[in-house]
Every structure is written in structure tokens, then in C-alpha cells.
């Protein structure tokens, strides 16, 4: 595969932080994350339309990140060879096209197939977008900007959960999210400059050598496993939040949408707080360890049968706000874990693979646990994931 010199990646720090580009990239991330929330809020309607079990419906969620489990590093290589802006545009267009097609389908298997394609576009977006940000932000503002960037997921999920029930059907949610994703792609060339031509060494890569460097560095792989633990925790609570609120708490569909959106939006509190704390010198290791402990306590409390019913929604809100600290910290730390600047896209790809692994496992595991043992059973999984996260965070280098 040949490289395109005009899109080879340059890693020199910019003279000034390019805020129009940053805002467009965050908008692109939010538009892409709409695809996550639209499936979650549509589950009750999809269950009625297709008559599937909770375990079958879990694939509407899990199919989306499944591609990323295997393709993160490959996308990182493509970002390095073809350019971050080009790959970001491509990912957004793939998501938009698959969502438009999915909206016209009334076949469950066909819908799952389009979710796999949306997932391919999404992994391209979440690997390419941080690479662009790393290029357009000054080093002293990196923690702040990556804190802002990490809000894209809760913002997109919250928006789709809030507006989804108001749009009149799951097909309308698919169409709206497709249109916004396409808009983000069309705006990108207007706000974000191309990568300048780099050296031939920067545009070619010996995959075996690059993977060997990542393996020897150890920290990128450790961050990937920490991200897996985080998503096992986060999606244990959030993947079926609307169904939990309807079946266990007794909310109506309309109330479920607004309450779920508020809970997920609280995640942005943690996102932004982590960016500020990192900027003030708090170590990533400290933030990760403390956040895992707090998530384990609040997350398990949501599922314990002894928890008073009137405490469940406040606990969900607190869990979401605290958990936002983790992705922001991980995304800000990943570029620093790279053994060399030109391997940053591969580090991002590896960490995203860990992120996706947790997103795939959690909905399938939780749906099976709930189907067989009820809504109180996931507490054990939450505590185990939190303990794993603390153990992994303790092995992180103290220089982060």
C-alpha cells in the first residue's frame, strides 16, 4: 500500500491551538456517538417490533463496537499512512451511509449488519479524531482539550436518548443521526487543515517493528486493558439503562428517555473535571485508581436488592458523573505512553481495541446475567470489574 504524501502525518506542535478544528472534531464525535445512544433508547421499541429476547437484542448494541475489537491498530496504521483528516471524513461518511440504509430496513438480521458497518465507521472516527486533535492543539492545552473531547460519547448518547422518544420511531432516530454525521463530515475540510507533507519514514511503517515497540513499551497495552475494565463497569450499568428504569424502577418510556439522557449527560462532569485535575498536576494513576473504587461502590449499589428504590436514580447519576473521569484520563495519557511520536495513531488504535472489547462483552454478559438471575445479579460483575481496574491502574507508570 502506498502512502499519500500530502496526507502524511506531521507531529510538530502548532503555534496556536486551532479551536474551530477542535469544535468541529468534537461535533463529529458527538454525531458519531448518537449511533450508540439511538440503539439503547430504541431497545423497547425494537423488542416490540421484532419480538426478540433481551439476549438477541443485546447484539443491536454489541454489533456496533465488535469491529473495533479487531481493527483498532489497523485503523491506526491507515491514519498514519493516509492522514488523520482523510480517515476521519471517511469514518463519518461510512456511519452516515449505514445509518441511512438501516433506517429503511425492517429485517432484524439486516439491521444488525448495518450496525456492524456503523461500527467500522465509528472505530475510524475514534482513532482518527484524537490524532487530529494531537496535531492541532498546543501541548500545554492538551489535557484540557482531551477532557473536552472525551465528552463526545456521553453528549451523543444523552442527546439521542432525550430526543429519540420524541422523533416518532426508531427509523427517525436513525435518519436524524445519519444526517448530523454527514454534516460533520462536510464541515471538516472547512475548519481543519490538512496534514503537511512529512518524511518518507513517517508515512511508511514496518508493522512487526511497530508492534514490537508497543509491546516493549507495555504502557499502551496496560491502558487498553484499563479501558476494557472501565467499559465492563460503565456498560454494565448503562447498556440497558432504559430497560432497567422501565422494568425495575417502573418509569414510562417518555420519562425513561429524559431521565436516561440526564444520567448519561452527567458523565461530562467527570470528563471535564479530569481534564482540569490533570492540568493541575494530579497523576493519571491516582485518578484512575480512585475512580475505579468509586465506580465499583456506586455501580454495585444500583443493583443491590437492598438499595431503596428512591435511591436508584440518584445512584445512577452519581455513577455516571464519577465514571466520566476515566475516559478523559485515558485519552489524555495515551499519546504520552507512545514510545515515539509517529506511533501515536497505533497507540490510540490499541487503546480503542481495549475500549471496544469492554463494550462488546458487557451488554452480552449483563443480558445473560439478568435473563437468568434478575436485575440484582450484575452487582458481582460490577465489583469484579472495579477490582480488576484498580489492580491494572496500580501497575501504571508513576510518571503519568
pLDDT band, very low/low/confident/very high, at 400 (cuts 50, 70, 90): low
Q: What is the pLDDT of residue 15?
A: 60
Express each pLDDT in 149-167 by its tens digit. Answer: 888 988 998 898 888 888 8
Q: What is the pLDDT of residue 11?
A: 47
> Is 271 within 8 Å of 142 (Cβ atoms)?
no
Mean pLDDT of 122-132: 90
d(CA 283, CA 400): 6
Q: What is the pLDDT of residue 391?
A: 95
Q: What is the pLDDT of residue 16?
A: 64
d(CA 166, CA 17): 38
- The residue whose grid cell reads 439503547 is 40
Alpha helices for 137-252 (secondary structure H): 142-149, 152-163, 170-191, 200-203, 207-217, 219-238, 241-244
Question: If you ran DSSP here, which 8-state letter would residue 16 be given?
Answer: S
Q: What is the pLDDT of residue 230?
A: 94
d(CA 114, CA 196): 35
d(CA 167, CA 181): 17
Q: What is the pLDDT of residue 73?
A: 80
Whether the full predicted model's pTM is greater than 0.85, yes or no, is: no
d(CA 42, CA 38): 6
What angle, rounded to 10 degrees, do the helices at 19-50 and 253-265 form?
150
Of residues 244 and 90, the one with the higher pLDDT is: 90
d(CA 296, CA 380): 10
Position 97 pLDDT exceeds 80: yes
Which cell numbers in the block locate residue 239?
447498556
> Is 279 within 8 Å of 394 (Cβ atoms)?
no
Least confident among 97-106, 223-232, 343-352:
343-352
pLDDT band, very low/low/confident/very high, at 278 (cuts 50, 70, 90): confident
Domains defined along the chain, listed by start? 13-192+204-393 (1.20.1250.20)
Q: How far is Cα of residue 241 from the mean position of the Cα atoms in its chain? A: 17
Beta-carbon contacts of 110 under 8 Å, excluding residues fewer than 6 positions away, are: 102
Position 7 pLDDT exceeds 70: no
> Is 348 within 8 Å of 300 (Cβ atoms)?
no
For residue 11, report the phi and psi dihedrals to the nearest 5 degrees.
Answer: -115, 10
Alpha-carbon dihedral 271, 277, 281, 284, rounded to 10 degrees: -40
Q: Return the SS3 of 400.
A: coil
Least confident among 6-10, 77-81, 100-104, 215-219:
6-10
Least confident among 19-33, 53-67, 133-147, 362-376:
53-67
Position 2 pLDDT exceeds 50: no
Mean pLDDT of 333-338: 85
Residue 112 exposure: Cα atoms within 13 Å on the Cβ side: 13
**Residue 172: count of CB within 10 angstroms of its CB:** 15
For residue 395, report the phi and psi dihedrals to the nearest 5 degrees.
Answer: -95, 0
Q: What is the pLDDT of residue 205?
A: 59
Position 197 pLDDT exceeds 70: no
d(CA 256, CA 254): 5
> Is 61 within 8 Å of 363 (Cβ atoms)?
yes
- The residue whose grid cell reads 455501580 is 299
Most distant CA atoms of the chain, gap in Å: 62
Amino acid at each position: 500500500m502506498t502512502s499519500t504524501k500530502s496526507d502524511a502525518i506531521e507531529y510538530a506542535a502548532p503555534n496556536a491551538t486551532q479551536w474551530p478544528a477542535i469544535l468541529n472534531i468534537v461535533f463529529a464525535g458527538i454525531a458519531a456517538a448518537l449511533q450508540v445512544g439511538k440503539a439503547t433508547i430504541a431497545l423497547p421499541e425494537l423488542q416490540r417490533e421484532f419480538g426478540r429476547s433481551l439476549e438477541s437484542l443485546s447484539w443491536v448494541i454489541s454489533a456496533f463496537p465488535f469491529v473495533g475489537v479487531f481493527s483498532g491498530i489497523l485503523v491506526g496504521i491507515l491514519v498514519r499512512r493516509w492522514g488523520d483528516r482523510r480517515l476521519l471524513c471517511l469514518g463519518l461518511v461510512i456511519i452516515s451511509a449505514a445509518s441511512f440504509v438501516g433506517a429503511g430496513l425492517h429485517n432484524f438480521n439486516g439491521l444488525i449488519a448495518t450496525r456492524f458497518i456503523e461500527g467500522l465507521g465509528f472505530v475510524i472516527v475514534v482513532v482518527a479524531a484524537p490524532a487530529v486533535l494531537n496535531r492541532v492543539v498546543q501541548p500545554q492545552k492538551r489535557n484540557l482539550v482531551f477532557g473536552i473531547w472525551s465528552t463526545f460519547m456521553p453528549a451523543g448518547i444523552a442527546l439521542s436518548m432525550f430526543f429519540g422518544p420524541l422523533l416518532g420511531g426508531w427509523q427517525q432516530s436513525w435518519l436524524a443521526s445519519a444526517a448530523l454525521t454527514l454534516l460533520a463530515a462536510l464541515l471538516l475540510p472547512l475548519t481543519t487543515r490538512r496534514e503537511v507533507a512529512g518524511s518518507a519514514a513517517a508515512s511508511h511503517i514496518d508493522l512487526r517493528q511497530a508492534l514490537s515497540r508497543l509491546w516493549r513499551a507495555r504502557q499502551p497495552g496496560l491502558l487498553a486493558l484499563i479501558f476494557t475494565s472501565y467499559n465492563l463497569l460503565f456498560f454494565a450499568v448503562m447498556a440497558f439503562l432504559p430497560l432497567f428504569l422501565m422494568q425495575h424502577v417502573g418509569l414510562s418510556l417518555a420519562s425513561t428517555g429524559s431521565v436516561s439522557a440526564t444520567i448519561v449527560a452527567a458523565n461530562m462532569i467527570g470528563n471535564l473535571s479530569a481534564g482540569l485535575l490533570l492540568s493541575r498536576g494530579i497523576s493519571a494513576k491516582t485518578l484512575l485508581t480512585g475512580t475505579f473504587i468509586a465506580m465499583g461502590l456506586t455501580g454495585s449499589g444500583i443493583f443491590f436488592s437492598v438499595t431503596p428504590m428512591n435511591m436508584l436514580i440518584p445512584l445512577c447519576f452519581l455513577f455516571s458523573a464519577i465514571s466520566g473521569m476515566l475516559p478523559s484520563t485515558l485519552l489524555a495519557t495515551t499519546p504520552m505512553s507512545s514510545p515515539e511520536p509517529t506511533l501515536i495513531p497505533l497507540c490510540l488504535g490499541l487503546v480503542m481495541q481495549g475500549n471496544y472489547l469492554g463494550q462488546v462483552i458487557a451488554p452480552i454478559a449483563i443480558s445473560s446475567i439478568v435473563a437468568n438471575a434478575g436485575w440484582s445479579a450484575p452487582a458481582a460483575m460490577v465489583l469484579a470489574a472495579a477490582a480488576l481496574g484498580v489492580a491494572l491502574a496500580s501497575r501504571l507508570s508513576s510518571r503519568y
